[in-house]
A and B are shown apart, each in its own frame.
Chain A
Amino acid sequence: MKFTAFLTISFFIRVNGEVGPQETNLTHREPVTTPKETVLSSIDVTGTIKDENGEPVAGASILVKGSTVGTSSDAAGNFNLQLSQQKVVLVISSIGFETREVTVSTSDPVHVVLIKKGDINEEIVVVGFGTQKKVDVTGSIATVSGDKLTQGINQSAAHALQGRASGVTVIQNSGEPGAGVEIRIRGAGSINDNSPLYVVDGIISGGIGNLNPADIESVSVLKDAASASIYGSRGANGVVIVTTKKGRRDQKTSVSFNTSQGIQQAWRMPTALTAEERNIIHKEALTNDGTPTSDPIWDYYNNPDNAVTRTDWFKEVLKPAYISNYDLAVRGGSSRSNYSFSLGYLNNDGIVMNSNFKRYNIRFNSQHEIAKNLTLGENISVVLSRQKTAEMRGSYTGVLSSAAFNMRNIPVWQDEEAGIYGTPSGDFPNPVASLNARDNVNKGANLGGNVYLEYKFLGMFTAKSDIAYNWGFSKGKGFTALAPGGGRGLTENSLSESYSTGSTWIWNNTLSFDKTFGRHHVAALAGMSAEEGISEWFNSGTAKNFSNQDKALRYFSNAGAFPDHPNGSADDYTLQAYFGRVIYEYDGKYLFAANIRRDGSSKFAPAKRWGTFPSVSAGWRISKEKFFDGVADVISDLKIRGSWGQLGNDKISNYQFFSTISSVGSPTLNGAQFAAVAQNRLANNTIKWEFTTQTDLGIDISFLSNRLSFTADYYNKETSDILVQVPLLSSYGVGVAPYRNAGTVSNKGFEVSATYRSTATKKFNYEVTASVATVENKLKSLGVAGAKEIFVSDYKNTFVGRTSEGEAIGHFYVLDALGIFQSQSEIDSYKNKDGVVIQPNAVPGDVKFADRDGDGSISAKDRFNAGNSFPRFTYALNVAAGYEGFDFSMLWSGSQGNKIFNGLKLGGMFMQGTGYNNGPEIMDRWTPSNTNTSVPRVTVKDLNSNRTYSTLYIEDGSYLRMKYLTLGYTFGDHLIGKGISKLRAFVTFQNLITITKYTGFDPEVGADLGSSNNMYGVDRGAYPQAKAYIIGVNFNF
């Protein structure tokens, strides 16, 4: 049973909105003093009532306080009232808004802005193709407001979501600037791609990794099938809906400017053996292996010069790094239009020397009522990015591996003036040389936007047509300079470039209906969507022999040799869908909704192309029943709800039902390269949609006038016909396995969250939210005849992971290390039932492995499920408080009970050979005088195969990390200069404290990219997260 638990406690204070002239604002729920009423001659009072967004509020009640005189506003929000008194108090109320009292003493027009109730009963939730009142929602939806996403400096909206919504896991793959994250909703449904669908301002988007967190108004996460099924085709892994900030109607232009500046450093500095320690270990290994002292290999260790520690490679490559961001936004609106314009700039130096990420975001949107009931609007976004990467993951060129395994007696420079580096003794390069020599820059430009036209008619219908287009360009350029003495990979210069352009258009057309007939509320939606995307790429191949390596000359024209030939191709897809939704509510008590969507995808052969995805949901607001009145003082709201639905997944590469011939390198024939092709992938024309069926039962209950509220959900999600590439035997002679529909995975769990909000007082406000979620993930069947398991995650050519029937997806599959043999007699007596000595090659100090199959020897058959990377629970703790001008907040995020395969132990805890340094844990190796240890004796020959992957590589990956700690102060009016309406200064600490027993670089290991999409927790030497100290200011003008 795997649990994911999730806990958020948050305190927050509300911040006032802007108040225009002629307007009165009653955000503070302060009692309004009733002025003395004086009878004077009668006057005519006119006015308008609008909401915060400048939309007219129709049907609002306007009552003279203490009388029955009153009226209500018309459709345009206007009212007219004859008063017999000249100074009265008007009480203005409307469902869903805070009731306001306005003192009227002249006949000047009264403009009243009603503020939507902060009451959870009136919270609006963004759902697929629309919005819904939270109380009417029958599915399971988590929402995160934009202000939660701008704490600290986050590279993107996706990064900022970590710890913010229950059942939503954000996995950081790397601390490298510009690196992406993975978002998982309710576990892993597929053995295939588990990432959710992203929808930004109504348009399906490739991801939110480049979205500026400062531009976000809110994020809705649709977790259950009924909520997501309007996006049926690709909603199986949940849907993340992002709404960006907009201007408001009748809003005076507001300008805000925020900046944060910070310093980052490695949260923990890794270490490796000093030269003296290395000598102890290596000499001991040579002695253990019986290497005669006459062997010249000893000369190296006997040379006193080699015992001098000259370099701390980690300190050479991990340096403090600067990070800054700037956001400027201008928003406003007239009575018929509103607009928003924002600029963002992020400059993030990496803690690994010479790595950097810069991004410029520009976003513009506006809405115009171009004719009565006809609205035209658009969103435009431009993103430019530049990423300078460090070589991190290469198995022999990775910078951190090189820092770990290079000898520390080697200097960074052998002769700095002559530009000659200290030469490594093994085949890892000098990491400083590698970082200096590799000039790898990725540049990206993305231009996207949509234009829509919305027409409201007959008071109940809305027709909307929305067309979106996105164009992206990316370029990668990698130059490796010759670095004399730098070691492997740095002995010659080379250049390669790659380009890709991609464009997508999506056209959505919807017709919606919304009408209340007495106690019946009916809403319906019908729509269609068409989408087409194409990407084209080009790869130059490698050019070599640059006679001059000057930065200005790193272009192809200056290369001397072109051993590779370029390649390039294109990829395109189309998708078409029809969908509908009906919602029916009776008296706000009984809630029903049904969705259906039919999708066609170009990824499947014509006969398998279309899939239909239905869902239904229902809710009952018990608290609205008469019999509930008696407890209404205690329980202010109670709703139970349930949903069932089916969703699809087509996230596989294009053209998988075609068998193709592709380019496969260029052999040398007749002395020259010769173009070669082959069938490198097998086709499967029977593949079809992957299906997920999910049932969700939920309850929402609140107490104490909604100050304390709980939400609980139970879900059962079963994914079948999973699209998966079952690894193919090499004897098929192809490099890529075909996709097939195989397997069934189930995810079940609970999610409970609770919120407590303090009674608002002027001085001190807070809010507490706590939530807990569990996931039980299980592969029910693999669906492949005769196959019960798939091996995954190849680390140095051996699988370390396995997915098998009846167990969670992707567990570690290694030998069981029972301990260290302490004596020869222990080795001799370690026999199987037939009396066979199991480890005859062992000597005291070697690892004792479990012979699980009892055959009398240690082999691959003895591997077992040694745990997995699913946490028992992950948790987050969000504390924030405000006292007068001060605000304080912090977010703790942690993971408990997950395991990590620490690949660096291969060279850290075991000898990789005499050419490499080792990690500090090897100092605790077994010796006849140090027997109480789990680290085996040191040996290069390793006749007992101590190094074989075993539980010695598996570590507890639990951690608790303080993601943010912020202390801010908002200056009072007296301190604010002319034109500044708000000034706040703050300090933020990011990743300040990390508590973990994990010994690798960082416990946030992430997905095993490039090897297996569904194996997590395989640490190949990930780029560690940075600790950051940030100061910043927010200005509003």
Chain B
Amino acid sequence: MKLAAADFKSKAATNLANPSLQRALTRLQERFVGARAKALAELPAVAPLRDAAADIRAHTLENLDHYLTQFEQRVQESGGKVHWASDATAVNRILLDIARAYGVRRVAKSKSMVTEECAVNEALGAAGIDVVETDLGEYILQLANEPPSHIVAPVVHKNKEEIADLFAQHHQRPRQTGIPELCREAREILRPKFLAADMGISGANFLIAETGSALIVTNEGNGRLCTTLPRVHVAITGIEKVVPTLEDVSLLLRLLPRSATGQSITNYVSVLTGPKRAGDLDGPEHFHVILVDNGRSHLLGSELQPMLRCIRCGACMNHCPVYQNIGGHAYGWVYPGPMGVVLTPSLAGMSGTIDLPNASTFCGACADVCPVKIPLPDLMRALRTRQWQGQMRSRGERLGLAIWAAMAMRPRLYALATRVAARLLQLMAGRRQSIKVLPLGGGWTRVRDLPAPAGRTFRDLYAERHTRQINRPQEDHSPFAVSPSAKRGQHRASEQRHK
């Protein structure tokens, strides 16, 4: 998929003004956030499970070469073949070689974000091979010629009316708008395509080193069909997806569907090991796995390594106030939301993704809900630091930060400047005690007023209260203890009306 993250801000603005998308995003948030909380609540203890899940992923990444070569050997022993792809070009070259070797003309594909990364459909199409996406969401997007906007619910941005229009246009059938009817129609259109496919392409949610298996979870059953009916099955997935044992994957599976869709288990969990055995009545004759690097190994050994623990549940985006408001397409590549703003610059490069690590309020909700405890805000901060060090931020921003840094390192000057600034802002605010126009702060005051500062700076208040408390030792020593009157003041401030 082509990177299109450079116009993040303008896309975000467009999406904020799109009422149909806003309704869809509200629905996504209502369903997924509540369902996740409910599904996790049925577990006796979540914290130890998340700790164990994070440990499994971290341990595997620490020994990635060991587990990948073990996986490769087990795949060979069960009659399959492993291919290594350093980048997207290699993925498509290997895939086309496999397709040619078996005379493949038709491909049925199950949802895979790695294949979106590598633009596999375009490469197969250019070689004259017919590809059909079979996950309902991905199929709709293929008809609409659009990228996914969510890694779990790819077509969250479309409503059923738009989908009904697409089906009527492409299926030459009477338009129907009931959701069960639309699902039935897609089933009837796609069933013959499964049966006719020569090759099935899937991703893999996990690779299991001890058995050489690819594990795939799907609710629709399309993943099972793609990996059972065609003569050839190719699983394409990232090198970081390997885990040591069947028991490890079982533990992770308690968290993946709960975090993703709020299910205690995904409908179909398939552990696939090698091709059809002698005597088997069904199953593919050929089993291939393509292990994709495509930038992942560059994260190893860096402060961004924890990002490779990700199991692609999408909980971070479902809970992100930025994603919830702008949707997935604004992020301009395969991976949106908090995991995307870390992964996209890491895999696709820092240039052209300058806004992504900044598309966060640092509220920390993403890290709170991550089943493998990826410290996403810390990773965004690391990327922001890299942008700063690489002088990639705008000249105005760099100048502003340099001035601030110079002041922050001179405490007296800083105290004086903040005192002056507080007075100045208070004067500007006038009797209404709110500022409607602020030089250099138009982005803020265009949509809301800035409340006037209290007149005295934090440092002054801190110093005063600290002195008072030393004189009255029986009270709370913390200079941050909030007095009843200060509490009322906070309450008023939070009630400031938007313009």
* A and B are partners in one complex rather than unrelated chains: no
